Chain A
Amino acid sequence: MKINLKQAWHTLKNKPGFESFLASAAAIGIGLIFGFLLLVIFKAEKSVYGLSQILVVGFSSAAKFSKVLYQAAPLIMTGLSVGFAFKTGLFNIGASGQYMLGMFMALYSGIVWQFPWYAALIMAMLGGAIWGAMPGLFKAYFNVNEVITSIMFNWIGLFAVNVLLANIPMVLADYYGASNPDRTANMSAANKAAIIPKWGLDTLFDSTYMNISIFMAIILAVIIYFVLNRTTFGYELKACGFNRNASIYAGINAKRNIVLSMVIAGSLAGFGGGLYYLSGTAQYTIEKLLATMGFNGIPVALLATSNPIGIIFSALFISYIQVGGEAMQPEFAKEIVDIIISVIIYLSAFSLLLKGIIRKLIKQSATAGKEVAP
């Protein structure tokens, strides 16, 4: 039995993913320590309470855990959107705008056309895909940097969605007798069939936040993983990102692939917008701020080094500590959690360095073990 454990350890530590995993774990540990130091500086007597809120609240009850899953589902989608684009050599900073368009199409088709939830989700993907196609088209045919187009279309999308929603009375809450005119309708009043089904999970977890969207997000992550790693199409997209000229030389249509990458990335973010706003619990309020869910996709993707399966876990992790961060209010600002995330991302930039240190440590422990053995 002892030997088996040793063998397992040996095979595990030689796997290439293991060092990356340890490096990420180390980054997370240092980030949390940094956050704890901030808590101590600002309110020493409450610091332990604050940290325990961040670390424990997400698991403290079924209701809180449903909140983690509820926020993680759209986060996985925007993370996939950014990560997929990264894998194909594009920086999709426009997930926010694509998410907004996805939300708009989901609400419009769900309420005005009375679409059922699955059809409305497909419309959400379509909305995100159209908005994602823009940076792709501008890059492929006009040589405009996709970062700039994405940023511009984030704002165009925000304002366009605001004007459109404000001028379609049916999607607004006051059409159904609610008092706030700047809010979209409560789905249970507008179209019950457009709410993502709960399959009894809400009673099981005792929370209205619980529905099947987390499963849909995970399935899509697996599909994206499969497409990127097991299909010719995915290989072409990655080759195009790795070296555009070489891929053109190899007969790959680079322009088409840039547009397709962005269309897929956009549709993923748009799907996220649909998931969140068809949950039956979220209502969009017309405001002048870009959707943060889109921007949070960037750290989610970076933390997972754009690996679709890793994105599931990084989104769950970020959602988990965000729920914890909300619970530590009003003693501390919940933004401390954002600081922790940013430190983790910054350290993940050092992943090569961290990996080197970890490799050294493993080697040292191995040689130390040998010296003791005889």
Chain B
Amino acid sequence: MIILADIISATIIFAIPLLLVALGGMYSERSGTINIALEGIMIIGALFSSLFLNYAEKSGWGASHAQLAMLLAILVGGVTGLIYSLLLALASVSLKADQTIGGTALNLFAPAFAIVLSWAVQGQGQTTIYIPTWIKITQANFGLTISENPGFWEAMIFKNLYLTTPVAIVILALTIFLIYQTRFGLRLRACGEHPQAADSVGINVYKLRYIGVAISGFLAGIGGLAFTIAAGSGFQSTVAGYGFFALAVMIFGNWNPIRIFGAALFFALFKVIGSYSGSIPFLPSFSGIKYSQYLYQMLPYIVTMIILVFTSKKSRAPKAEGIPYDKGSR
């Protein structure tokens, strides 16, 4: 049973970055801008929040105010991601450039910049920025005692609990409300579906697209931190393609926040089965094959493809996404 608890808790911690970043991508695409730069934005957010946590650890202040420091780190990740994403908005909204070009440039810049900056801060060749262990939420935070042999629920909840998890859930709830229940959400969606119509009733399409991209930058920045925590060995100038997976999760989730949540959990579950394959008893072990773990690591991608085949006939992207809005064109 304890292995099941482990799997559930690992699934959740890997689903959180996917959820955050895919929601971010959704804001951007709902406003009409394809954000292919999610990967790069994640790296920037992860870089600065990791540096912040590292600094909090070194100054000695962090360990005594662990969750406050973590909340600040989340904000640092979000804000740096937001600032970085404005470069995409500038290119693709204001200057009406091809959205893949700006995004590709940002994706290329981020990992290189992260390596150069980590070297500059930590010394040559020191590429890994270690994250302190005190950021984890433990039983002690709730006044509980840490038991020697945790039961099912205790293991499931506290094995991998970080502040990013509740924050992501709150953001999900907020997003559902914002997109479907508010004037802002309606306007944002209008800009992604038919910007000319939106403009004709006095909505500032450029402004809303800036806001859409900026929110996606904020969420992707936090997602970068969430990924670094999930990966567990510190920040190494990469988010291992999670920005692109998030894009897949967003499409898989059909640009709908609740379905994105489901898709993120689904993708994370198969990812975890892939990496836990050795310790799950009922899975065949393919003992005659060298590196058989790679067979399981293919699983999430293959399963996603199969499911996409069945679901994407109904898939409907925002109609105007990817097309720069030009007031003068018909």
Contacts and interface: CB of A to CB of B under 8 A. Distances in A.
A155 interface: yes
A349 B101 contact: yes
A350 B105 contact: no
Interface string A206-247: 000000000000000000000000000000000000000000
B138 interface: no
B251 interface: yes
A38 B291 CA distance: 42
A167 B289 contact: yes
Contacts of B116: 38, 42, 333, 335-336, 339
B51 to A, nearest CB: 16
A151 B309 CA distance: 15
Contact of A138 (B120, B301, B309): B309
Interface in A306-345: 330, 333, 335-339, 341-343, 345
B247 A350 contact: no
B183 interface: no
Contacts of A348: 101
Contacts of B184: none
Interface stretch (B56-64, B74-82, B107-115, B155-163): B107-115
B95 interface: yes
Interface string A131-160: 000000010001111011101110110011
B125 to A, nearest CB: 8
B291 A286 contact: yes
Determine the main DSSP class of A at the interface with B: helix
A152 B124 CA distance: 34
A338 B247 contact: no
B276 interface: no
B38 to A, nearest CB: 12
Nearest to B313: A143
Given A149-B305, A167-B289, A339 B102 contact: no
B197 interface: no
Contacts of B108: 299, 338, 341-342, 345
B320 to A, nearest CB: 16
Interface stretch (B169-177, B208-216, B222-230, B292-300): B292-300
Interface size class of A (residues with CB under 8 A): 35 or more
Contacts of A151: 241, 244-245, 247-248
B304 A350 contact: no
A298 B104 contact: yes
B285 interface: no
A7 to B, nearest CB: 35
B87 interface: yes
Contacts of B98: 349
A91 B111 CA distance: 22
B112 A338 contact: yes
A298 B36 CA distance: 13
Contacts of A159: 294-295, 297-298
Contacts of B137: none
A299 B104 CA distance: 8
Contact of A339 (B100, B113, B289, B309): B113
B109 A346 contact: yes
B97 A144 contact: no
Interface string B109-153: 101110110011000100000000000000000000000000000
Contacts of A162: 291, 294
A162 B91 CA distance: 39
A220 B256 CA distance: 44
A302 to B, nearest CB: 5
B289 A163 contact: yes
A142 B314 CA distance: 10
B105 A346 contact: yes
A290 interface: yes
A350 B109 contact: no
B290 A346 contact: no
Nearest to B298: A159
Contact of B120 (A42, A155, A286, A341): A42
A142 B309 contact: yes
B167 interface: no
Contact of B302 (A42, A156, A299, A333): A156
A342 B95 contact: no
B254 to A, nearest CB: 12
A170 interface: no
A136 B58 CA distance: 51
Contacts of A342: 105-106, 108-109, 112
B97 to A, nearest CB: 4
B222 to A, nearest CB: 22
B309 A144 contact: yes
Contacts of B290: 163, 166-167
B178 interface: no
Interface in A64-122: 91, 93
B293 to A, nearest CB: 9
B308 interface: yes
A349 B93 CA distance: 12
B180 to A, nearest CB: 24
Interface string B240-271: 01001101100110000000000000000000
Interface string B180-195: 0000000000000000
Given A42-B120, A159-B294, A339-B116, 13 more contacts: A148-B251, A151-B247, A155-B241, A156-B301, A163-B289, A163-B290, A299-B104, A336-B116, A342-B106, A342-B112, A346-B101, A346-B106, A349-B97
Closest 5 CB pairs of A and B: A338-B112, A346-B105, A349-B97, A342-B109, A335-B112
Interface of B: 36, 87, 91-92, 95-98, 100-102, 104-106, 108-109, 111-113, 115-116, 119-120, 124, 241, 244-245, 247-248, 251-252, 289-292, 294-295, 297-298, 301-302, 304-305, 308-309, 312-313, 315, 317
17 contacts: A42-B116, A142-B309, A144-B312, A147-B36, A151-B244, A152-B301, A156-B302, A159-B294, A159-B295, A163-B291, A299-B105, A330-B124, A335-B115, A337-B112, A339-B109, A345-B108, A349-B91
